[in-house]
Amino acid sequence: MFPASSEIIAIDLSPQMLEFAKQKATSLQLNVQVKVMDAQKLEFADRSFNTVTSTLSTCTFPDPIQALREMKRVCRPDGLILLLEHGHSKLRWLANHQDRHVLQHYQQNAGCRWNQDPLELVQAAGLKVLNSQRFGLGMFHAIVAHP
């Protein structure tokens, strides 16, 4: 949870999702600005933010490594990039199921590629991983990184 004094800017390609986020933020008494924007080409200056967060989104970015590089670019060098993502399970039986049904899942769930490895994407984008934990049948990743 963000402290009430936080200055929060939320971005998404979907105006409808941003409206939902704004309503939720208002109910939590958080001051949130919303902007329609592409995560792969952020319209912010370099080193603009102390903290950059992304939740359950790298699976739908056409180029997740580029989006992560943009997060790195806009985060201050001493800042944090906080990610909560899902991906390929560490359980073999579930990972096999994900692989067998990846196309069907992609088509039915807004382009979600559920068998990616978020940690590999983060490392490929050049982020320095400080902490990484997996949970929820080994599918979910909580990653703390430096730019």
Residue 63 is predicted with a pLDDT of 97
Whether 113 is in a domain gets the answer yes
Mean pLDDT value of segment 44-62: 96
Residue 9 lies in a domain: no
Tell me whether residue 85 is in a domain: yes
Give the total number of structural domains in the chain. Answer: 1
Q: What percent of the chain has pLDDT over 70?
A: 99
Which ranges of 1-147 does DSSP label H, i.e. alpha helix?
Answer: 15-27, 64-74, 92-100, 102-108, 118-124
For the entire predicted model, the pTM comes to: 0.93
Range of the domain at 60: 54-146
Answer whether residue 68 is part of any domain: yes
Handedness of CA 43, 46, 50, 55 (dihedral sign): positive
Does a structural domain hold residue 124?
yes
DSSP state of 9: E
In this structure, is residue 34 part of a structural domain?
Answer: no
Nearest-angstrom CA–CA distance, 86 and 32: 25
CATH at 111: 3.40.50.150
Residue 73 domain flag: yes
Per residue in 58-88, pLDDT (tens digit) is 999 999 999 999 999 999 999 999 999 999 9
* Mean per-residue pLDDT over the chain, rounded: 95
